[in-house]
Amino acid sequence: MPGVAPGDKPLPADAAPPLTDGLPNATLPGAVGPPGAPPADGVLDADALAAARLDGVLLAGRTVAHLVNNDLTIAVSALDLLRAHGDLPPHLHGLLDSALGGLYAAAEHVDQVRRITRVVIVESPAGPALDLDRSRG
């Protein structure tokens, strides 16, 4: 079964009540917290829900930071090697600088995600998103 470590026994789907997301009559289907975390009625208080949400954001942020930083390192290194190459036509130097600038900006965004200390949500054209400036401590 995916997500179950060798030797672990998967929990049945009805092992714990679902956690709520703080909205009236809404739940997070299949969500199971650590032993004893949900109260008997299965409803988390606002502080526990905020902590769980932050834990999820931090886990995703660390994962994405690791993966993206690896790719950024490869791309920046390749462009630095091109820059060091003496035969590069002059008209490509501006393109190279723009590409490097974009990669450094992406690295800064990854760093912003790594420094999140709280979850502040804003609406964006694509739907709810983290406000990176206000989510950092």
pLDDT tens string 38-69: 555 666 678 888 888 888 888 988 899 999 99
Q: Are residues 39 and 54 in the same domain?
A: no
Same domain, 77 and 127: yes
Residues 77 and 98 in one domain: yes
The answer to whether residue 99 scores a pLDDT higher than 70 is yes
- Based on the fold, state whether residues 54 and 69 are members of the same structural domain: yes
Rounded to the nearest angstrom, the gap between the alpha carbon of residue 94 and the centroid of all alpha carbons in its chain is 32
Q: Are residues 89 and 65 in the same domain?
A: yes
pLDDT, position 15: 45
Verify that 64 and 38 share a domain, yes or no: no
Q: How many domains does the chain have?
A: 2
Backbone phi and psi for residue 3, each to the nearest 5 degrees, phi listed first: 85, 5
In this prediction the pTM is 0.59
Same-domain status, 90 and 26 = no
pLDDT class of 33 with cuts at 50, 70, 90: low
Chosen domain end from 29, 44, 59:
44
Q: Model confidence over 3-19: pLDDT tens digits?
A: 444 555 554 444 444 44
The Cα–Cα gap between 45 and 39 comes to 9
Whether 51 and 3 map to the same domain: the answer is no
- Looking at the fold, whether 40 and 58 belong to one and the same domain comes out as no
Is residue 7 within 8 Å of 37, Cβ to Cβ? no
34 is in which domain, residue-wise?
1-44
Reduced to 3 states (helix: H, G, I; strand: E, B; else coil), residue 27 is strand
Q: Are 27 and 49 found together in one domain?
A: no
Please indicate, yes or no, whether residues 28 and 39 belong to a single structural domain of this protein.
yes
